[in-house]
C-alpha cells in the first residue's frame, strides 16, 4: 500500500516566491503599471487591465519604490534609491519612446512623492533639501523641472496631494506617529491655513477632494480610539465623522468624479474592503475575494478598482474589480513554488500580560511534530514599534513551520491596530513594559503541551531587534537563541547617529537625548549585553539610515570580547533590511542553520 509522501521544500522555494503590487492605471484605464520582484528586486511592469502578458519596463539593480501614471499622458513617474540608503530620486518613463529621464538629481536628498496635479503638468513632493533635517513641500513643473516651495514651516511634512481643480494642496505635519496636523495651502494666493489646532495626540491623514473642491475626506482619530473617516467642509471650516468603525480604517481612496469611496478596515489584523456611495454612504454589494486587501486605487474614470490581495499562505497579487458588473478578476499571477496547502494558517490567540493587559498573537503550529516531542518555538517580534504583525505571507516564518518549528507573532503593547491608548502603553518611561509582554508570552507558552519550552528562540527586525536584545540581556536564562535584524542596542547612540530627519520623531517615541538620557541608558540592552547567555545571530545593512550599522557592531564587539557566541552578517548594498533576493538567499539559510543548531543541541 502506497503512502502519500510529504514533499520537502527548501528555504529557497519559500524565498523565491514573487509578489506584485503598487498598481496605477493609465489615463484611459486600459493599462496598469505595477511593481514586481520577478528579477529579484521590485521593478516596473505594464499589463492590460483586462489581463494578458506583462511587459517589464525597468531592470535596475536597486528596487523601484513606487510608480504612478500621469493622469493625462502615457508617462510614468517612479522613485528609486541606491543601496538601501532611502534617498529616493524621481524619474520619468515615456511609454511612447521607453526613454527614462531624471526628475531630481540630488543624491544626498530624500524625496517623498505626494501626487500628480489633475492636469498632469505638475507633481508635488516633500524633501529635506534645505537642511537635511526638515521636510519642506514643493510643487514642480514636470516639463521645466522648476519647483517652488509650498510649505516650509519645518518638521517632518508630507504632501497630501493637489485638490481636484488644483486650487489647494493639503500638507500633513508629523509630530509623532500618533500626533499630526493638517495645513491647507492655497496655490492661487499662497495662503496657508492651519486647520487642525488641537491639544494632546490626534492623528490626521489624507485629503480626498470632491470635484467642486467644497470638501475633502480624511482619516482622523479625534475623540476616538480608532481612525475614522471624516469630512472637512471648506466653507464651514468644520470636520464631521462619516464612518466610525470599532477598528482602524487602514486605507481610503476615492474616484475622481467623487461618486465612490473605497474604505479598508483593519479588523484584528485582517483587512476588509468596502466601497461606499459618497453621497448616501450606502455600501455597494460587490463580490470580493477572501484575503487581506490593501493598496486600493481607482482608475481615472472610476470604472475599475485595483487592489492587492494575499494572505498568510499566498503571496501578494493584483486584482481588478469592475464596478459595473461587480466582478473581480486576478490580474497578476506571481510565481509561488510552495502550494498553499503545504503551509499553515495562523491561529489568533490572546494571552494575559503581567498587569492584566490582553495581548493578541498569531500562532503558527507545524503540521507534524516528532512523536513525543513538542515543537521548538520562535517568537517573531515586529518592528515599529507602532506597527502591527499581519497574517500575510512570511517566507522565513513559513519555512520554519515547514521544518517543524512553532512560530508565535505577538502584537505587544505599543502596536498599532488596537486603539491609540494601546499604542501609547510603551511610550518613553513605559518602554520595558513591552519587554515584559514577551516574558508573559513565554509563560503562556510554558502551558502549551505541543511546544518544547526548553527551546524558545527570539527573532525580530528593527525595533523588534531591540526587543530580542532586551529580552536576552534582561532575562538571559529564558532563551535558547536569538536573531537580531537591523536592531537597536543603545538608544543614545541610535538617536545620535540615525538620519537627522528621523531624530525628532523617534525622540517623541523613545525619549529625548536632552531630557531623557538617563532613561535611554537604562532601557538600552548594551549596558547588560554581557549577561546574554544564548547564541545570537546579527544581520545589518551597511547603508541603513534608520538604525546605523554601529548598533550591530557594538553588539558583536562586546559579545565577542566576552567570549559569547555571536555571528554578524553585513551587506554592503543594503540598508534597513534585505531588499535583494541574492542577499536574502545568502542570509536566511544561515539563520535557519543557526536555529537548527539550537534545536539539535537540545535534543
- pLDDT one-digit tens code per residue, 310-362: 999 999 999 999 999 999 999 999 999 999 999 999 999 999 999 999 999 99
More confident residue, 361 or 374: 361
Place of cell 567570549: 563
More confident residue, 539 or 373: 539
Whether 479 shows a pLDDT value over 50: the answer reads: yes
Whether 158 shows a pLDDT value over 90: the answer reads: yes
Q: What is the CB neighbour count within 10 angstroms for residue 181?
A: 20
Whether 79 shows a pLDDT value over 70: the answer reads: yes
Question: Mean pLDDT over all residues of the chain?
Answer: 95
Place of cell 500618533: 178
DSSP 73-138: SSEEEEEE-STT----EEEEEETTTTEEEES---TTS-EEEEEE-TTSSEEEEEE-TTTSSS-EEE
Q: What is the CB neighbour count within 10 angstroms for residue 15?
A: 17
CA distance 341 to 347: 16
- 372 pLDDT band (50/70/90 cuts)? low
Domain 340-602 is found in CATH 3.40.50.1820: yes
Alpha helices in 341-446 (DSSP H): 395-402, 420-423, 431-445
The answer to whether residues 501 and 110 touch, using CB atoms and an 8 Å cutoff, is yes
Give all strands of the β-sheet with 168-176 in edge-to-edge order. 156-162, 168-176, 179-186, 192-194
DSSP 521-541: HHH-GGGGGGG--S-EEEEEE
CA-based nearest residue to 27, from 94, 90, 120, 165: 120
CA distance 539 to 121: 44
- 6 pLDDT band (50/70/90 cuts)? confident
The answer to whether residues 517 and 492 touch, using CB atoms and an 8 Å cutoff, is yes
CA 317 to chain centroid: 17
CA separation (Å) from 570 to 310, 352, 354, 410? 31, 37, 37, 27
The answer to whether residues 496 and 520 touch, using CB atoms and an 8 Å cutoff, is no
What are the residues whose beta carbons fall under 8 Å from the beta carbon of 255, sequence distance 6 or more?
261, 298, 299, 301, 302
What are the residues whose beta carbons fall under 8 Å from the beta carbon of 138, sequence distance 6 or more?
124, 125, 126, 127, 147, 148, 149, 150, 159
- Planar angle of CA 414, 418, 420, nearest 5 degrees: 65
The answer to whether residues 92 and 103 touch, using CB atoms and an 8 Å cutoff, is yes
Phi, psi of 43 (to 5 degrees): -130, 170
pLDDT of residue 321: 97
Place of cell 532611502: 86
pLDDT of residue 2: 47
- 5 pLDDT band (50/70/90 cuts)? low
CA distance 23 to 3: 45
Whether 1 shows a pLDDT value over 70: the answer reads: no
Q: What is the mean pLDDT of residues 550-557?
A: 98
Q: What is the mean pLDDT of residues 2-15?
A: 80
- Give the DSSP H or E segment for 542: none
| pLDDT tens column, 256-287 | 999 999 999 999 999 999 999 999 999 988 88
Whether the bond into 385 is cis, omega within 30 of 0: yes
Task: List, in sequence order, every residue forming a beta bridge with 101; answer none if it has no partner.
Answer: 92
- Planar angle of CA 495, 499, 501, nearest 5 degrees: 100
Q: What is the CB neighbour count within 10 angstroms for residue 499?
A: 18
CA-based nearest residue to 544, from 163, 86, 138, 129: 86
Strand pairing report for 75-80 and 304-311? unpaired
Amino acid at each position: 500500500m502506497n503512502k502519500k509522501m510529504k514533499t520537502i521544500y527548501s528555504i529557497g522555494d519559500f524565498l523565491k516566491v514573487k509578489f506584485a503590487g503598487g498598481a496605477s492605471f493609465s489615463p484611459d484605464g486600459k493599462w496598469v503599471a505595477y511593481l514586481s520582484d520577478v528579477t529579484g528586486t521590485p521593478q516596473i511592469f505594464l499589463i492590460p487591465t483586462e489581463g494578458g502578458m506583462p511587459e517589464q519596463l525597468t531592470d535596475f539593480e536597486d528596487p523601484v519604490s513606487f510608480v504612478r501614471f500621469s493622469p493625462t499622458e502615457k508617462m510614468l513617474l517612479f522613485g528609486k534609491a541606491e543601496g538601501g540608503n532611502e534617498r529616493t530620486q524621481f524619474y520619468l518613463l515615456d511609454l511612447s519612446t521607453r526613454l527614462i529621464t531624471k526628475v531630481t538629481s540630488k543624491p544626498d536628498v530624500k524625496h517623498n512623492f505626494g501626487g500628480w496635479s489633475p492636469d498632469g503638468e505638475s507633481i508635488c513632493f516633500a524633501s529635506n533639501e534645505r537642511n537635511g533635517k526638515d521636510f519642506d513641500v514643493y510643487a514642480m513643473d514636470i516639463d521645466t523641472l522648476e519647483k517652488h516651495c509650498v510649505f516650509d514651516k519645518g518638521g517632518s511634512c508630507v504632501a497630501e496631494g493637489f485638490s481636484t481643480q488644483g486650487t489647494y494642496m493639503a500638507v500633513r505635519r508629523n509630530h509623532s506617529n500618533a500626533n499630526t496636523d493638517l495645513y491647507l495651502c492655497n496655490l492661487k494666493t499662497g495662503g496657508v491655513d492651519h486647520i487642525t489646532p488641537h491639544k494632546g495626540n490626534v492623528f490626521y491623514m489624507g485629503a480626498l477632494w470632491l470635484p467642486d473642491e467644497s470638501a475633502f475626506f480624511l482619516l482622523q482619530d479625534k475623540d476616538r480610539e480608532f481612525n475614522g473617516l471624516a469630512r472637512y467642509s471648506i466653507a464651514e471650516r468644520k470636520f464631521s465623522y462619516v464612518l466610525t468603525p470599532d477598528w482602524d480604517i487602514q486605507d481610503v481612496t476615492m474616484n475622481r468624479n467623487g461618486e465612490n469611496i473605497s474604505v479598508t478596515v483593519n479588523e484584528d489584523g485582517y483587512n476588509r474592503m468596502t466601497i461606499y456611495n459618497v453621497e448616501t454612504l450606502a455600501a455597494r454589494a460587490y463580490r470580493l475575494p477572501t484575503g487581506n486587501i490593501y493598496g486600493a486605487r481607482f482608475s481615472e474614470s472610476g470604472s475599475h478598482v485595483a487592489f492587492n490581495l494575499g494572505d498568510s499562505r499566498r503571496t501578494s497579487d493584483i486584482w481588478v474589480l469592475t464596478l459595473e458588473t461587480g466582478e473581480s478578476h486576478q490580474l497578476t499571477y506571481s510565481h509561488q513554488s510552495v502550494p498553499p496547502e503545504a503551509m499553515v494558517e495562523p491561529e489568533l490567540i490572546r494571552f494575559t500580560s503581567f498587569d492584566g493587559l490582553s495581548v493578541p498573537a498569531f500562532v503558527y503550529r507545524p503540521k507534524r511534530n516528532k512523536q513525543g516531542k513538542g515543537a521548538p518555538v520562535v517568537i517573531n517580534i515586529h518592528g515599529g514599534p507602532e506597527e502591527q504583525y499581519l497574517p500575510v505571507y512570511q517566507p522565513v516564518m513559513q519555512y520554519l513551520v515547514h521544518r517543524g518549528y512553532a512560530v508565535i507573532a505577538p502584537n505587544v503593547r505599543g502596536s498599532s491596530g488596537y486603539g491609540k491608548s494601546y499604542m501609547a502603553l510603551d511610550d518613553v518611561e513605559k518602554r520595558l513594559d513591552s519587554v515584559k509582554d514577551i516574558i508573559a508570552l513565554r509563560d503562556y507558552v510554558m502551558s502549551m503541551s505541543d511546544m518544547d519550552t526548553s527551546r524558545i528562540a527570539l527573532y525580530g527586525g528593527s525595533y523588534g531587534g531591540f526587543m530580542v536584545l532586551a529580552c536576552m540581556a534582561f532575562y538571559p536564562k529564558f532563551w535558547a537563541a536569538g536573531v537580531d535584524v537591523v536592531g537597536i542596542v543603545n538608544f543614545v547612540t541610535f538617536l545620535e547617529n540615525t538620519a537627522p530627519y528621523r531624530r525628532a520623531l523617534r525622540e517623541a517615541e523613545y525619549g529625548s537625548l536632552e531630557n531623557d538620557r538617563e532613561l535611554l541608558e537604562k532601557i538600552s540592552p548594551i549596558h547588560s549585553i554581557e549577561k546574554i547567555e544564548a547564541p545570537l545571530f546579527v544581520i545589518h545593512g551597511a547603508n541603513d539610515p534608520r538604525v546605523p550599522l554601529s548598533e550591530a557592531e557594538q553588539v558583536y564587539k562586546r559579545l565577542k570580547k566576552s567570549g559569547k557566541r555571536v555571528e554578524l552578517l553585513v551587506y554592503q548594498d543594503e540598508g534597513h533590511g534585505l531588499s535583494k533576493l541574492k542577499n536574502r538567499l545568502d542570509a536566511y539559510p544561515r539563520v535557519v542553520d543557526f536555529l537548527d543548531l539550537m534545536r539539535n543541541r537540545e535534543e
